[in-house]
Amino acid sequence: MKLDREVSHPIHPQHRLKIEYTEKPFSCDGCKEAGIGLKYKCDACEFDLHKACALAPPAISHPFYKKCDFRFYKKPPGTVMRICDACSKDVQGFVYHCNRCGFDLHPCCANLPQTLDDGERNLYLCMKLSSACHCCGGKGPGWSYRSECKNYNLHVSCVKELLVESWQAMYLNGDKNKVREMQTRIPSLRGMMVNHHRGRGGKVRRCCQIAGGAVRVIVSAILGDPTAIIAAVVGGFISK
């Protein structure tokens, strides 16, 4: 789909927004979530919107919530704190909300593809975990991506947390030691897969490859375009 090079948006009516590709993390002024890659930016102001936020349609449906009618809101409706049912993070800005069922989705979360292809195999978006998330070790709420063998799971929320911490270390603190610390904080995906399939021959290599490609394509789905820097940082979790 061809994107408009310039758009206007009601929350920033004074200037038109131009599409831009950036390898530097930004905070979206619409949903208040982190972003990278394609965005719509005001050249005159420090104002950025995710592509998904800038071009958000007024209503959507979602295959996980077949009875829901999601409507777009510029701010969370009501007086209580809203939580995104996809990533389990607070809703602080743009949101899709179903008045009948009470479900909420960040615009970027609502746009997560049901299937990711890493070039050789598929990863599937799931509402509930069938086994523990490799990053946090839990089966808590929130969507995850699962490998075809059903043994590799990663919360969408965990990917977000890892990226935000990495960005803070690299762009805010410039602390390379912090980056290395984060890269060794969780067990190796490769080690986990080898232990899981010990004695099963060829399945070890196949699942290690799934683990290796999974993080990168999930990052791409969540943020639009992973940069070489971010891919290298996240790669630290699978290179040990």
Per-residue pLDDT tens digits for 188-208: 333 433 444 444 444 444 444
Q: φ, ψ for residue 29 (rounded to 5)?
A: -80, 0
Q: What is the pLDDT of residue 37?
A: 77
Does position 73 have pLDDT exceeding 80, yes or no?
Answer: yes
Which domains are assigned to the chain?
6-54 (3.30.60), 63-110 (3.30.60), 115-235 (no CATH)
| Neighbour count for residue 97 (Cβ, 10 Å) | 20
The answer to whether 224 touches 54, Cβ cutoff 8 Å, is no
Model confidence at 215, pLDDT cuts 50, 70, 90, reads: low
CA atoms within 13 A on the CB side of 35: 29
Higher pLDDT, 136 or 12: 12
Provide the CA 175 distance to its chain's centre, in angstroms: 24
Q: What is the pLDDT of residue 77?
A: 94
| Neighbour count for residue 105 (Cβ, 10 Å) | 25
Model confidence at 231, pLDDT cuts 50, 70, 90, reads: very low
Q: What is the pLDDT of residue 196?
A: 42
Q: What is the pLDDT of residue 146?
A: 83
pLDDT tens per residue across span 117-164:
655 667 788 998 878 887 788 888 889 888 777 777 888 888 777 766
Q: What is the pLDDT of residue 11?
A: 93
Higher pLDDT, 19 or 159: 19
At 185, the amino acid letter reads R
By percentage, how much of the chain surpasses pLDDT 70? 64
Does position 107 have pLDDT exceeding 90, yes or no?
Answer: yes
The CA-CA-CA angle for residues 21, 23, 29, to 5°, reads 70
Q: What is the pLDDT of residue 133?
A: 85
Q: What is the pLDDT of residue 81?
A: 93
CA distances from 240 to 38, 77, 235 (A): 31, 45, 9
Does position 16 have pLDDT exceeding 90, yes or no?
Answer: yes
Of 27-31, 37-41, 154-158, 212-216, which gets the smallest average pLDDT? Answer: 212-216
Does position 105 have pLDDT exceeding 90, yes or no?
Answer: yes
| pLDDT average, residue stretch 103-129 | 82
Q: What is the pLDDT of residue 152?
A: 75
Does position 65 have pLDDT exceeding 80, yes or no?
Answer: yes
Chain mean pLDDT for the chain: 74
Q: What share of the chain is helix, strand, coil (3-state, %, to 5)?
A: 30, 25, 45
